[in-house]
Amino acid sequence: MQSIGTFQLLTRLVLTIVISGGGFSSLLQIIVFSRNSTIGGSGRENASLGLIKATAPNSGIRLPYQYPNLTYAMLGDDTDLGYPTALYPNITYTQTDEPDAMDPSVNATKAAAFTDLPLNNTSELLLGPLQINDSYALVSLTLPITDNLNREIVLGYMTVVAAATSLISVTQSREGLAKTGIVLLIGPSRRENLFRYEQRPSNPDYDADPETIGEANVKYVFPPNPFQGQSNRHQRYL
């Protein structure tokens, strides 16, 4: 147990150094989750049950919700509110009858973020954006941590929170819009930011059925941002 504690302490130190560097990526927060339910909780995980947590020091980011005493939570607070649940997967672990690739003497455990979204060695999960104010928002990306010698083996899962400044810049750009144009960024209304498989958009290898994809529910990724003095005809759809 002492060696595990030392490993977690050193890993947390490394993660803190990485996210405190700032730069282009604007990394702000990281949580590492267990590969199964044997460590860090049982059955269902959330942000408070991660194996390792780290937040950029002195981020000064006030989150859009309050404690019972009406003070606002700050990113990195040592409570559940300091790690926004909207940006972290609610992981469910289910034991299978198959042998574990790392230890064939025990059964493997499957992990899922939400009801129908499995986590595995190739999964990618983008959550957010969580709007902080008109000019700032946060997004997160959850990826598997795999064995360097065998990419099929998952060692854990890592969620990284970063600033969504570049996305907001796109919606606020007025280039080529004249006096009446407005940028609308629309995405699926599901929390996992993915369309249902049967409602997936077209890509180079697939042509979507307009009637099927037309039934998909969508939302504004960011609220429409009209010119000053320009009427916001999209407001009623928020």
Report in angstroms the alpha-carbon separations of 217 from 132, 202, 212. 24, 16, 11
Q: How far apart are CA 227 and CA 174, in angstroms?
A: 9
Amino acid (1-letter code) at residue 215: E
Given this model, what pLDDT does residue 4 score? 44
| Mean confidence (pLDDT) of the chain | 80
Q: How far apart are CA 22 and CA 118, in angstroms?
A: 31
SS3 of the chain:
CHHHHHHHHHHHHHHHHHHHCCCCCCEEEEEEEECCCCCCCCCECCHHHCCEEEECCCCCCEEEEECCCCCEEECCCCCHHHCCHHHCCCEEEEEEEEECCCCCCCEEEEEEECCCCEECCCCCEEEEEEEEECCEEEEEEEEEEECCCCCCCEEEEEEEEEECHHHHHHHHCCCCCCCCCCCCCEEECCCCCCCCHHHCCCECCECCCHHHHCCCCEEECCCCCCCCCCCCCCHHHC
Question: Domains of the chain, with CATH numbers?
Answer: 2-168 (3.30.450)
Given this model, what pLDDT does residue 170 score? 79
| Low-confidence winner among 37-41, 85-89, 124-128 (lowest mean pLDDT) | 37-41
Residue 129: cis peptide before it, omega within 30 degrees of 0: yes
Q: Does residue 82 contact residue 72 with C-beta atoms inside 8 Å?
A: no
Q: How far apart are CA 122 and CA 214, in angstroms?
A: 29
CA-based nearest residue to 144, from 122, 126, 117? 122
Residues in the chain: 238
Q: Does residue 53 contact residue 82 with C-beta atoms inside 8 Å?
A: no
182-194 pLDDT, tens digit per residue, is 788 888 888 888 8
> Between residues 141 and 182, which one has the greater pLDDT?
141
Q: How far apart are CA 129 and CA 114, in angstroms?
A: 17
Tokens of 131: 């709007």
166-218 pLDDT, tens digit per residue, is 888 877 777 777 777 778 888 888 888 888 888 888 888 888 888 888 888 88
Tokens of 234: 């999209």
Given this model, what pLDDT does residue 133 score? 86
> Between residues 22 and 90, which one has the greater pLDDT?
90
Given this model, what pLDDT does residue 6 score? 45
Amino acid (1-letter code) at residue 60: G
40-99 pLDDT, tens digit per residue, is 444 555 655 788 888 887 778 999 999 999 999 999 998 889 999 999 998 989 889 999
